[in-house]
């Protein structure tokens, strides 16, 4: 590590620092402590409350968002590490007033009960299709296993994922 890099890191805390985050295609400049999680930055500083704070330990998946198109647990991701990267939340999934096909499928298949986990479930479901991990119900269950639904709507969630998968492949 060069002296310049070392000096730059030393100036990033412990107090608040200015950081630029791109969320759902919109640039935001925030003044945050470097230890603020991406989840807290989204919910408390940008009023994007779709990602939920469930366990705050990375075990429930309610806070699932994408960073550069990859699933991450926002409660375990520091906001400062997302500078220069694109963050996508459930609020950025729809195209204007047109719901994403997975959002529509969740509604059509009643793939939620209380709805608390639904944003994280949907973000994971869209990602697992893009990753090619929806070949069977057991594969869907495995790749969605990081998203807990305490209401046990799993059969409906898998049904919604299958519908979107089959629509994409023309089955």
- Per-residue pLDDT tens digits for 22-57: 999 999 999 999 999 999 999 999 999 999 999 999
Q: Mean of the pLDDT values across residues 108-125?
A: 96
**Which pLDDT score is estimated for 168?**
82
171 pLDDT higher than 80: no
Residues in a beta bridge with 71 = 66
Please, are residues 151 and 113 in contact by the beta-carbon 8 Å criterion? yes
Q: Mean of the pLDDT values across residues 96-122?
A: 96
Q: How confident is the model at residue 169 (pLDDT cuts 50, 70, 90)?
A: confident
Residue 82: φ, ψ to 5°: -95, 0
Which DSSP helix (H) or strand (E) runs through 163? Answer: helix 154-169
**Which pLDDT score is estimated for 13?**
67
Least confident of 13-17, 22-26, 41-45, 69-73: 13-17
3 pLDDT higher than 90: no
pTM: predicted TM-score of the whole model, two decimal places: 0.89
Q: How far apart are CA 62 and CA 120, in angstroms?
A: 5
Give the sheet arrangement for strand 26-32, strand by strand.
Answer: 26-32, 17-23, 86-88, 64-67, 70-73
Q: Mean of the pLDDT values across residues 80-84?
A: 96
How far does the chain reach from its first CA to its final CA, in angstroms? 53
């Amino acid at each position: 590590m060069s002296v310049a890099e070392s000096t730059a890191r030393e100036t990033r805390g412990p107090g608040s620092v200015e950081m630029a985050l791109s969320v759902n295609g919109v640039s935001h400049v925030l003044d945050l402590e470097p230890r603020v999680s991406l989840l807290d930055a989204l919910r408390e500083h940008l009023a994007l409350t779709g990602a939920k704070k469930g366990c705050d330990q990375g075990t429930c998946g309610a806070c699932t968002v994408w960073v550069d198109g990859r699933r991450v647990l926002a409660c375990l991701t520091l906001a400062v590490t997302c500078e220069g990267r694109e963050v996508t939340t459930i609020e950025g999934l729809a195209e204007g007033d047109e719901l994403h096909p997975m959002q529509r499928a969740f509604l059509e298949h009643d793939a939620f009960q209380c709805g608390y986990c639904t944003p994280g479930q949907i973000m994971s479901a869209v990602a697992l299709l893009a990753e090619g991990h929806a070949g069977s119900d057991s594969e869907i269950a495995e790749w969605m296993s990081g998203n807990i639904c305490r209401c046990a709507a799993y059969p409906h969630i898998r049904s919604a994922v299958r519908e979107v998968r089959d629509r994409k492949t023309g089955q």
